[in-house]
Amino acid sequence: MNESPLSAYLHIPFCERKCVYCDFYSIENLSLREEFVELLTREIDMKLAAYPQLAGRMLHTIFFGGGTPSLLTPHELERIVAKLSAHFTIADDCEFTMECNPGTVTLEKLRGYRVLGVNRLSFGVQSFDADELKFLGRIHDADQAREAVRLAREAGFDNVSIDLIFSLPGQKEALLQNTLDEAIALETDHISAYNLIVEHGTPLYRLVQLNKVIELDPERSAELFSIVQQRLAEAGFEQYEISNYAKSPGTRAKHNLVYWDGFKDYVSFGPSAHEFVAGERAWNVSSLEQYGRMIREGKLPRINREVLSMEERRTEVLYLQLRSTGLRIAEFNSVFGEDLLLNPEVTFLIEDGMLRHENGLLRLTERGYRFCDGIVTRLMPSEVSYVLQ
Ligand code: SF4
C-alpha cells in the first residue's frame, strides 16, 4: 500500500448569494443540496473503484471548500464523512477544515461539525466595514462575523481562521487599519488576507469594464499589502505565504501547505474540484448539472487531466514552494538536475533583498512576498522584469 500522506478536498457548490468578486463555482439553488450530497458520495465510491491504489491511504488533511460548506447540515456532513471513512484511514491528528460563511452558522451546527471531527474553521469575514461588505455582496455584517468566531470558540474549536480582502476600489488606509485591528481583536489563530483580484467573468469584472468601478492601481495595492504585513507582524502573526499569517507554526494551514508543496498528493471531489495524484493533475466539470449527469451515467465527472513536463513541473515547484514556506534547495536540485545556488539570478535576488537562503531553504523576504510572480519569472530563462503581485 502507498504509505505517503494524502489530502482530500471536497467542493460544496452552493452559496446563498454570489459575491460580486467571486469566480469559484457555486449556484444559489439550495434545494439541490440533498441530491448533491448523494452524488458526492457516489463520486467517492466511483473514484475509489477506478483508482484502487487510493484505498486505505491515510488522510492527513481534509478540506471542505466552496461555495459555502457551512450550508451543509451536520447530518449531511456526516454522510460524506462516513463515506470518506469507508475508503480512507483518517489520521488521528488529521487537520479537518470547514470553510464557513458567518451568515450561515449557529452554535448547534458548529457543535455538530465538531462532533464529526472538524477541528478547524475558516470564516470568510472579508471586512468589518458595512459599506465594503455591501460592495462585496456579502450576506453577513461585521457583528455576525464577530459572533461566528465567538460561537466557534464556544463550540470547542481551538483553531480558527478568518479571511480578509484588501485593495478594494478606493480603499483608504484608515479603513484597512480598522479592519486589521478588528481582526486582531478577535484573537484568531490564523488570518488570510487577500488582495482583491478582478477575475474575468465576475460581476465585478463587468463593473470595471463599464468604468462603474475603478480598480486600485498596483502601487497603491502594494502599499496596502505592506500595511497588512506590518500590522499583522506587530500583532504576532508570522507571514508564511503570500496571503497567509499564522499565530504559531502549529496553526499554519496544513492543507494549503500541501497545495504549495508541489510534490504532495491530494484527491478531490465535487464540481470544479482539482486534484494532483502521482504526478497527474485532473479536474472536474464546473457545472452541477453536468456533474450529476456524468455520475448517473457511471462516469467520473472529470473534464480534463494532464501530466506536466519537467519544465512545467520546475516552474510550478518554484512558484508554489517560494510563495509559501520556502523552496527546498537540495530536493529541487536533485529532481531538476541543477544547482540553484549557482544561478546568477538567485545571487542577484538575494543581494537585492528579495530572497534569503537559510536552513537549506530559499525563502522570500517580506519585500519578496510582494513580488513573488516577478521573482519566479526572473528564475525562468531570459526574463528580467518584476511583476507586482
Ligand atoms: S460566499 Fe464565498 S464562494 Fe460564495 S460567492 Fe461569496 S466568496 Fe464566492
User: Mutation test of ligand 1: which of 99, 101, 163, 272 has the most ligand atoms closer than 8 Å to its C-beta?
Assistant: 101
Instruction: Return the amino acid letter for 259.
Output: Y
Atom of ligand 1 nearest to the CA of 23: 8
Q: Cell numbers for 124, please give them.
A: 470568510
Q: Which DSSP helix (H) or strand (E) runs through 95?
A: strand 89-100
Residue 265 lies in a domain: no
Amino acid code (one letter) for 1: M
For the packed helices 310-323 and 329-336, what is the interaxial angle rounded to 10 degrees?
170
Looking from the CA of residue 15, the nearest atom of ligand 1 is 4
pLDDT at 182 over 90: yes
Residue in 169, 238, 242 with CA at minimum distance from that of residue 389: 242
pLDDT at 386 over 70: no
User: Is residue 348 domain-resident?
Assistant: yes
Enter the C-alpha cell of residue 298.
457511471
Considering the domain boundaries, does residue 388 fall inside one? no
**pLDDT, position 4:** 83
Instruction: Among 2-11, 187-196, 329-338, name the one with the lowest average pLDDT.
Output: 2-11
Residue 24 Cα, ligand 1 centroid: separation in angstroms? 7
**Are 228 and 351 in a shared domain?**
no
In the structure, how many helices (H) and strands (E) does the chain have? 15, 15
Domain boundary among 221, 237, 259: 259
- To test the pocket of ligand 1, the residue of 16, 18, 126 to mutate (highest count of ligand atoms within 8 Å of its CB) is 18
Mean pLDDT value across residues 36-53: 97
* CATH at 315: 1.10.10
Are 383 and 341 spatial neighbours (Cβ–Cβ below 8 Å)?
Answer: no
Judge residue 89's burial from the number of C-beta atoms within 10 Å of its C-beta, 0-12 exposed, 13-18 middle, 19 or more buried. Answer: middle
Instruction: Tell me how far apart the alpha carbons of residues 230 and 385 are, in angstroms, rounded to a whole number.
Output: 26
If asked whether residues 216 and 333 sit together in one domain, one would say no
Mean pLDDT of the chain: 95
Query: Which ligand 1 atom is nearest residue 137's CA?
Result: 6
Verify that 318 and 216 share a domain, yes or no.
Answer: no
pLDDT score at 381 = 65
Ligand 1 atom nearest to 124, measured from its CA:
2
200 and 94 fall within a common domain: yes
197 pLDDT exceeds 90?
Answer: yes
Give CA torsion, residues 57, 63, 65, 70, to 10 deg. Answer: 120
| Residue 389 banded pLDDT, cuts 50, 70, 90 | very low
Name the residue with the closest Cα to ligand 1, atom 5: 18
Confidence at 62, pLDDT banded by 50, 70, 90: very high
Looking at the structure, tell me whether residues 101 and 192 fall in a common domain. yes
Q: Rounded CA gap, 349 and 351, in Å?
A: 5
Do residues 27 and 154 share a domain? Answer: yes
| Alpha carbon distance 36, 170 (integer Å) | 40
CATH of the domain at 74: 3.20.20.70
**Residue 296 belongs to a domain:** no
Residue 16 resides in a domain: yes
Of the candidates 259, 274, 295, which is a domain's last residue? Answer: 259
Judge if 240 and 369 occupy the same domain: no
The rounded Å distance from CA 378 to ligand 1 centre is: 34
CB 69 within 8 A of CB 12: yes
pLDDT digits (tens, 9 = 90+) for 220-262: 999 999 999 999 999 999 999 999 999 999 999 999 999 999 9
Nearest CA, atom 6, ligand 1: 19
Could you give the residue ranges of the DSSP H alpha helices within 21-106? 33-50, 74-87
Residue 43 is assigned to a structural domain of this protein? yes
Expressed in angstroms and rounded, the spacing between residue 186 Cα and the centre of ligand 1 is 22
Question: Is 76 part of any domain?
Answer: yes
Do 205 and 92 fall into the same domain? Answer: yes
Q: Which atom of ligand 1 is nearest to the CA of 66?
A: 3
Mean pLDDT confidence for 298-312: 94
Q: 238 is in which domain, residue-wise?
A: 6-259
Ligand 1 centroid from CA 217, angstroms:
24
Query: How far is CA 225 from each of CA 26, 168, 260, 264, 389, rounded to the nearest angstrom?
Result: 28, 12, 21, 29, 9
> Is 270 part of a structural domain of the chain?
no
The continuous run of DSSP H or E covering 201 comes out as: none
Helix axes 74-87, 33-50, angle to 10 degrees: 10
Examine residue 67 and say whether the peptide bond preceding it is cis (omega within 30 degrees of 0).
yes
Residues 130 and 101: their CA atoms lie apart, in Å, by 16
- Answer with the one of 259, 274, 298 that is the final residue of a domain: 259
Can you tell me the distance from the alpha carbon of 226 to that of 369, in angstroms, rounded to the nearest whole number?
A: 10
Residue ID of nearest Cα to ligand 1 atom 8: 22
- Provide the number of structural domains found in the chain: 2
Kindly list the protein residues whose Cβ atom lies closer than 6 A to any atom of ligand 1. 15, 18-19, 22, 24, 26, 66-68, 101, 124
How many Å lie between the centroid of ligand 1 and the Cα of residue 382?
39
* Residue 137 CA, ligand 1 centroid: distance in Å: 9
User: How far does the centroid of ligand 1 lie from the alpha carbon of residue 330, in Å?
Assistant: 39
Q: Indicate the burial class of 50 (C-beta count within 10 angstroms; 0-12, 13-18, 19 or more).
A: exposed
User: Which ligand 1 atom sits nearest the alpha carbon of residue 126?
Assistant: 7
Q: Please provide residue 342's backbone torsions phi and psi, each rounded to the nearest 5 degrees.
A: -90, -5
Cα 101 to averaged position of ligand 1 atoms, centre (Å): 8
Residue 118 phi, psi dihedral angles, 5° rounding:
-65, 130
- Residues 228, 168 within the same domain: yes
In a shared domain, residues 89 and 187: yes
Query: Does 131 share its domain with 214?
Result: yes
Dist. CA 11 → ligand 1 center (Å): 12
Claim to verify: residue 193 and residue 340 sit in the same structural domain: no
